């Protein structure tokens, strides 16, 4: 945007002109800057050169950018159980070291959209199980590429199922900022709620379990209008890298899991289950 000058020569004798030169200049400058300031308040979609390759998304990759990174939580008297989540970014995971450090449960990225399967899924999913952890799988949602039902089917068919063995958690839907474009995937708030509902309904029909919802309150508010209709049935996994989980999305009075940092020991993403280990097993058993 530019302001053109007329190029007209202004005579030295201007006593007959209204003396508004400074006010006019300030007004013009504000008119130029005003739309720029307004545009700065909206987070732009990533440009093509900034977008990661499809399939590379993982839990919480937008949390630091949009919600920030605060201090780690202060230990409380409430009993919580440490867990981690992993994707292809971690490669082959040293599960024995994590187990020895006190990590007792894990979630592993299985799929994304209907086009990506984690190549490290077997080592991560089976390795955590073999070491003794309660583990589950998660799906990174891309609501702009396929329907919720189609993505739930893809997830279940490629590692996201459930079995009543006491060590398998219900699958998790990772629904958060779009790393490949507009934050809400080009959907209205009503369309996003419909997409999520279609995924959850199909997952329940396929597995008999209600999927966990992983999200951040700020994204949920922006992209679903802070919809409250899933809190009664779907456990909440809240993402917030700070001393507390903060305000939860509408419909949930408490969180089941809390991803509290992306810079934890051994693997970055560390979580707290809101209860003792027997409650983790209870969620696995339904």
> Which residues carry out catalysis?
85, 174, 176
Pairing of strands 236-239, 81-86: unpaired
Tokens 């940092």 belong to residue? 261
Distance CA 134, CA 157 (A): 20
Among 256, 222, 244, smallest CA distance to 66 is for 222
Q: What are φ and ψ of residue 263, in 5° steps? A: -135, 45
Distance CA 61, CA 45 (A): 15
Tokens 């089941």 belong to residue? 256
Per DSSP, what are the bridge partners of residue 82? 272
Distance CA 80, CA 73 (A): 12
Tokens 């899924």 belong to residue? 121
Distance CA 187, CA 73 (A): 34
Tokens 């399967």 belong to residue? 117
Q: Give 180-186 contacts, CB < 8 A, sequence gap 24+.
A: 180/46, 180/51, 180/52, 180/54, 180/57, 180/142, 181/45, 181/46, 181/51, 181/144, 182/45, 183/43, 183/45, 183/62, 183/219, 183/222, 183/223, 184/222, 184/223, 185/142, 185/143, 185/144, 185/223, 186/144
Q: Any idea what DSSP says for residue 171?
A: P
């Amino acid at each position: 945007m530019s302001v053109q000058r007329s190029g007209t020569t202004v005579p030295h004798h201007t006593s007959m002109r209204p003396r508004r030169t400074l006010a006019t200049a300030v007004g013009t400058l504000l008119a130029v800057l005003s739309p720029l300031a307004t545009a700065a308040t909206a987070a732009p979609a990533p440009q093509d050169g900034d977008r990661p390759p499809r399939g590379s998304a993982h839990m919480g990759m937008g949390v630091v950018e949009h919600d920030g990174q605060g201090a780690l939580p202060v230990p409380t008297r409430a009993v919580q159980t440490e867990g981690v989540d992993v994707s292809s970014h971690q490669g082959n995971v040293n599960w024995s070291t994590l187990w020895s450090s006190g990590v007792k449960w894990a979630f592993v990225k299985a799929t994304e959209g209907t086009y990506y399967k984690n190549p490290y899924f077997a080592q991560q999913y089976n390795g955590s199980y073999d070491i003794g952890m309660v583990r589950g799988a998660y799906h990174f949602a891309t609501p702009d590429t396929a329907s919720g039902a189609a993505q739930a089917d893809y997830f279940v068919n490629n590692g996201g199922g459930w079995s009543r063995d006491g060590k398998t958690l219900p699958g998790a839907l990772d629904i958060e900022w779009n790393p490949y474009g507009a934050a809400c995937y080009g959907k209205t708030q009503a369309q996003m709620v419909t997409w999520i509902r279609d995924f959850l309904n199909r997952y329940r029909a396929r597995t008999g379990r209600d999927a966990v919802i992983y999200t951040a309150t700020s994204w949920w508010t922006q992209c679903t209008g802070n919809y409250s209709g899933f809190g009664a049935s779907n456990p909440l996994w809240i993402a917030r890298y700070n001393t507390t989980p903060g305000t939860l999305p509408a419909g949930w009075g408490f969180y089941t899991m809390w991803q509290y940092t992306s810079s934890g020991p051994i693997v970055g993403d560390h979580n707290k289950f809101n209860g003792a280990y027997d409650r983790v097993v209870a969620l696995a058993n339904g």
